[in-house]
Amino acid sequence: MNLRRLKDNISSRLMLAATVFACLLFFFMVIGLYSRASPILSAVPIPDLLFSEEWGPTEGKFGFLPFIMGTLWVTGLAIIIAVPISLLSSIYLSEYAGDHLRNAVKPLIDLLAGIPSVVYGLWGVLAVVPFIKNTLAPALGAETIGGYGVLAGGIVLSIMVFPIIISVTSEVLRSVSQELREVSLSLGATKWQTIKHVVLRKARPGILAAIILGFSRAFGETMAVLMVVGNVAKVPSSVFDPAYPLTALIANTFGEMMSIPLYDSAILLAALMLLIVVLIFNILARMVLIKIERGVI
């Protein structure tokens, strides 16, 4: 009996240690990035780093505004494209589709989530960029640099976040009590009226959490964006303009020109900003889901 308790205690302590180590990894990453980014934080005022458009490492200019705005443009456009399509798909799968169709579609959605981002990027280069260059931009009378730009990045990213938003939203919609639907239908409401005024209203917090999770995935994506967005360090003025997101900046420049003073510190500061923003969005999404589970909202 004592030996059995000893084994249980050892096992529980080992699992506790593994759990604590996994949780501490994030703090180790933050501390490491901050320590490496501290030289530029000490040398350059934070307003100059965040709001200056001048990027010239050889001249000691480290304005992150073009990269921040490029990230926001691409991510925002991806969410604008992804949310309506994902929401309508989720409604159909949870409310209209039969079990056979739902079971057939779910593996395909999971497959989309497992495709490497570089494959999405190649698809964007081979299909999305030529479409924008040869068809969409001429039809709208817009100028584009070979089809590369915010629009191409937004389209590719929107497809990448489809699986996250669709999966979470479908589960949230299906978790709404069937009794609420039956009460609405018994009062004479149509199926769509029930979905619109009862199901969606009840599931609104969970849908918001799904969108936030999709946003955090899009915000931190690298390879697909790098391949189709153009990589020009300039604040975009339209969706056809090229952009240079923070993720592309890190992937393109880290490890190069490290002899330039503060250059590596600036790149690691960009990584730290990305990490903090993604953390904030994941915390917000988790808080919403916890409130849903407790029935607070």
CATH number at residue 211: 1.10.3720.10
Query: Are 24 and 162 members of one domain?
Result: no
Whose CA is closest to 244, among 228, 268, 255?
228
Residue 56 β-bridge partners: 61
Query: Are 143 and 98 members of one domain?
Result: yes
DSSP structure string for 25-76 = HHHHHHHHHHHHHHHHHHHS-HHHHHH---EEGGGTEE--HHHHHHHHHHHH
Higher pLDDT, 215 or 132: 132
pTM: 0.82
258: domain range?
A: 50-294
pLDDT at residue 292 greater than cutoff 70: no
Task: State the amino acid at position 11 in one-letter form.
Answer: S
Query: Are 266 and 218 members of one domain?
Result: yes
Average pLDDT over residues 239-268: 80
Query: Are 36 and 63 members of one domain?
Result: no
Per the listing, tokens 């939203």 go with 169
| Two structure tokens written together for 41 | 């934080």
Contact (CB, 8 A) for 228 and 197? no
pLDDT at residue 259 greater than cutoff 80: no
| Two structure tokens written together for 192 | 């769509």
Query: Are 242 and 274 members of one domain?
Result: yes
Query: Are 25 and 130 members of one domain?
Result: no
pLDDT at residue 296 greater than cutoff 60: no
pLDDT class of 131 with cuts at 50, 70, 90: very high
Give residue-wise pLDDT tens across range 39-92: 888 888 888 888 888 888 777 788 888 888 888 898 889 889 999 999 999 999
Contact (CB, 8 A) for 91 and 173? yes
pLDDT at residue 297 greater than cutoff 60: no
Query: For the chain, what is the mean pLDDT?
Result: 84
Query: Are 37 and 58 members of one domain?
Result: no
Cα–Cα distance measured from residue 92 to residue 69, given in angstroms and rounded to the nearest whole number: 35
**Angle at Cα 154 formed by Cα 245 and Cα 164, nearest 5°?**
100
Query: Are 84 and 230 members of one domain?
Result: yes
Domain count, the chain: 2
